[in-house]
Structure 1
């Protein structure tokens, strides 16, 4: 029996997601097609629809304050800068990464990760809780979703690609892995990635904010917002650290055990292979040495494979501007991303 061709805008064979379902959620045609076959995007669309949250998908985004932000005690600074630039916490929870979550969250970018980065990333992201914060954008232009504005303002994870005044520069990014924050590129990623996080966090922490049954309390002091209330929890789980490679090597060399011996015998970047081989043997079980080791290896590795592009690159604000009609209007130009 022959299958009748799909009607325009309906689901195509192999996908239960309508061809137009993502049209307003990403300006990237490749992502629109790929996400029609992505189970997390499909489930996320269903979850958002069930919460009547699709209508708010342009107004909200999220930020993940990773364990390096907690160890480096950057969280309060990050939240303050975000608030100053118009992103107000609407809900917050904690989440712990594991290897599967990491690979599925970055499924379409991890193909470009170097083998060295793969050796290190689970030890970093799995070193303690991250702070997941839903943000309401109080300043977004009508043509630019909250997630796109934050992506444009955040800046590259790579310090060599830093822009003066971008968020990661203002909070003192250190290297390609100690870059402190993760955000979603566009509304399609907000939906897909919150779905991935929901397998660990559920939806209750942000349901009211997404559905509109809760109110945006934009006048609430930072000390009373839902993200600030969790800082003591994450700080108690991850000790403060200076994230300074010279100091980390000095402390390790003065200690005892396998990492101390490695710091004394192989304390230069050209010996990174020996450090990674030691990491592959198992996690850093010496709590006193953990962040010193992470500081050293994140500083010395190459993060990306030369010549390998991600399957889906970072979405650009320029694509949204083009979708809004090409050149920005005077009103659009008057609302820049200052961060």
Structure 2
């Protein structure tokens, strides 16, 4: 194994995955936040302990569009997670690729393009949660196990992704949760600049409850976002209505019929034809169709796989009832 970059380390207390520890030691985003930890009261040792007690919940733009945020916050609070800090931010194509840099090697080109339609489409909320139940595993690992699978048909009523919105397509996952404390460190470096990272890290041992502030921010964010049920069939119905009666829409209407009947999955051409015709087809309708029709994953293993609860169980401990292994890949 190569030696980590001098001056930066990834302790086993932050990750149980040797490959992740090796990679993150040289990752510039991880290193940014690792340096920030040294300036906190108690230094890095206290910060590493504090990172075990918190978990960030990222409400993605699709959760905002589905109006699922309030239900998500109620669900995590009922499970013993209390919001202690929050920040609004916006994904762009670079942020999207960096967050999932070590998993997107298994995503098809189409799937990445659909993520580019989803993630920058609106604002996201980063909510830092304190775990009041401390179940003997990191808060990130406990919260990540709650989010549920990416495949909609595998989501159950208690999963956060089911609570957030209707299960339409595997790329519409509504929430992002860090797998392990090391991922908190790296993702803070991706999402935020130094002053904002310092502010959020200052809440590691906070005891305040900022639920009302988060709900107010959520309501304001939703007011700036188009609401959507993200149902692809309804989206096609709306496009059909926009095309009906237009003599210049014969090509688009024919492709729409083929898509509806299962004879085509050419979402790129359908979106391009809608653009060429200048129809007022909503962005989230376009996303819903692209999400349903796009190809998914390549036959490959991610550079760094998801980490389940089993990685953090003490040796010899029986599996916990909720321990079902890694919940999902990002999309």
TM range (shorter): 0.7 to 0.9
1:316 equivalent in alignment to 2:275: no
Change (3 A) 1:276 1:206: same
Change (3 A) 1:249 1:283: closer
How far off is 1:169 after superposition? 2.9
1:58 equivalent in alignment to 2:52: yes
Q: What secondary structure sits across from 1:229 in the alignment? A: helix
Greater CA deviation, 191-200 or 173-182?
A: 191-200
1:237 equivalent in alignment to 2:231: no
1:193 equivalent in alignment to 2:193: no
How far off is 1:208 after superposition? 3.1
Greater CA deviation, 237-246 or 249-258?
A: 249-258
- The count of residues paired between Structure 1 and Structure 2 equals 311
Give the TM-score of the pair, scaled to structure 1: 0.81
Greater CA deviation, 114-123 or 153-162?
A: 153-162
How far off is 1:34 after superposition? 1.5
1:177 equivalent in alignment to 2:171: yes
Match of 1:16 among 6, 27, 45: 6
1:39 equivalent in alignment to 2:28: yes
Change (3 A) 1:312 1:282: farther
Which ranges of structure 2 fall in alignment gaps of 5 or more residues?
42-46
How far off is 1:65 after superposition? 0.7
Q: What secondary structure sits across from 1:217 in the alignment? A: coil
Change (3 A) 1:14 1:336: closer
The answer on whether the counterparts of 1:43 and 1:195 sit within 8 Å (CA) in structure 2 is yes
1:303 equivalent in alignment to 2:296: yes
Change (3 A) 1:16 1:263: farther
1:327 equivalent in alignment to 2:314: no
How far off is 1:58 after superposition? 0.2
Give the TM-score of the pair, scaled to structure 2: 0.83
How far off is 1:165 after superposition? 3.1
The answer on whether the counterparts of 2:80 and 2:132 sit within 8 Å (CA) in structure 1 is yes
Match of 2:255 among 248, 265, 275: 265
Which residue of structure 2 aligns with residue 216 of structure 1?
207
Cα distance in structure 2, aligned partners of 1:200 and 1:236: 29
How far off is 1:259 after superposition? 9.5
1:93 equivalent in alignment to 2:87: yes
Q: What secondary structure sits across from 2:203 in the alignment? A: helix
Cα distance in structure 2, aligned partners of 1:101 and 1:300: 24
Change (3 A) 1:17 1:317: farther
How far off is 1:132 after superposition? 1.1
Change (3 A) 1:119 1:260: farther
Q: What RMSD, in angstroms, separates the aligned Cα atoms of the two structures?
A: 3.2
Which residue of structure 1 aligns with residue 284 of structure 2?
291
The answer on whether the counterparts of 1:120 and 1:279 sit within 8 Å (CA) in structure 2 is no
Which residue of structure 2 aligns with residue 155 of structure 1?
148
CA offsets 1:208-241 (integer angstroms, 9 cap, x no match): 313x4xx4135x7x4x2x3212012211221111
Cα distance in structure 2, aligned partners of 1:46 and 1:288: 46
1:166 equivalent in alignment to 2:153: no
The answer on whether the counterparts of 1:95 and 1:201 sit within 8 Å (CA) in structure 2 is no
